[in-house]
Structures are given as C-alpha cells and as structure tokens.
Amino acid sequence: MVTTVGTENTFEKLVQNLLILEHDAIAAYESTIEKLDDPASKAKIAEFKADHESHVMELTRLAGAIGTAAPQEGDAKQYLTTGKIALASLVGDKTILKAMSTNEIETKMAYDHAAKNDAATPEARTFFQKAYADESRHKEWMDAAAAS
C-alpha cells in the first residue's frame, strides 16, 4: 500500500496524519499481542508497541507546540491493519508477523517522507528520522522472526 502520509503541505496536517497512522499501528500491535502464541514474540511486539506509544507522545507534544488538535485515535484504515492480523492468526504466528511487517512498510515510508518534508521543523525532522529507524528495526525483526 502506498501512503501519502509524510508528504503534507503544512506541518499541522503532517503531525495530525502521523498521529492517526500511529494510532492505527498501536491498534494493530494490540491485536497482534492478543493473537500471538509465542511468549517471546509477544514480549518483542509489546516492546515495539511502546515505541509507537512514545511516538504518539512526541507527536502530541509537537501538535501542542504549534497549537493544532492532536487526534486521539486512528481512522478507518485501522480496520485494514487489524483485519490483516485477524486473518493471519488463522494460519499462525509467522503469518501474523508477516502481516505486521507489511504494516511497517507504510509507517516506514511515512516517516521517511516526513523526515524530508520542508514543512517540518528541524527538530521534528530529527524525531522523524529516529521514528524511521525504530520502524526499520521493527520490520527487520518481524521479517527475521517470520522467516525462522
């Protein structure tokens, strides 16, 4: 799925859309934790979910600093991200992790775009680069765990 998140023309919309994306991601992580059987995988996914919660805190801080509303939940896309997990759970843990890995592609792409977005402040671009690194680490682990 190709995302346009990260390419917004205003910093306000950029922050808001990243928050929505993060809330969608957190919902997918919660669904994954619930559906995984392997305790070690559940723990790793919970660790990654905490990264997303940290991203929400920073994005909410940025929204407050610029005086814009900070979305508190995802959008309809949440049903797509969590739906993939529900279907994958019918097959098993490796398939769940593969489904989560595909969700990470969009989040990585959004932060990559955001880190290069001229509407973002230098401080925000630094945060977006860190978030991109987090998403890359998540995806690499999911890919490796699903392949093992």
Residues 17 and 3 sit within 8 Å (Cβ to Cβ):
no
Residue 13: band (very low, low, confident or very high) from pLDDT cuts 50, 70, 90: very high
Q: Give me the CATH code for the 11-147 domain, please.
A: 1.20.1260.10
What confidence tens digit (pLDDT) does each residue in 95-131 have? 778 888 888 889 999 999 999 999 999 999 999 999 9
Model confidence at 145: pLDDT above 80: yes
User: What are the extents of the domains in the chain?
Assistant: 11-147
Q: Quote the pTM value.
A: 0.87
Higher confidence at residue 80 or residue 7? 7
The answer for residues whose C-beta is within 8 angstroms of residue 111's C-beta and 6 or more apart is 6, 18, 128, 129, 131, 132, 135
Q: Measured between alpha carbons, how far is 28 from 20 in angstroms, rounded to an integer?
A: 13
What confidence tens digit (pLDDT) does each residue in 59-101 have? 999 999 999 999 886 555 544 555 555 554 445 578 778 888 8
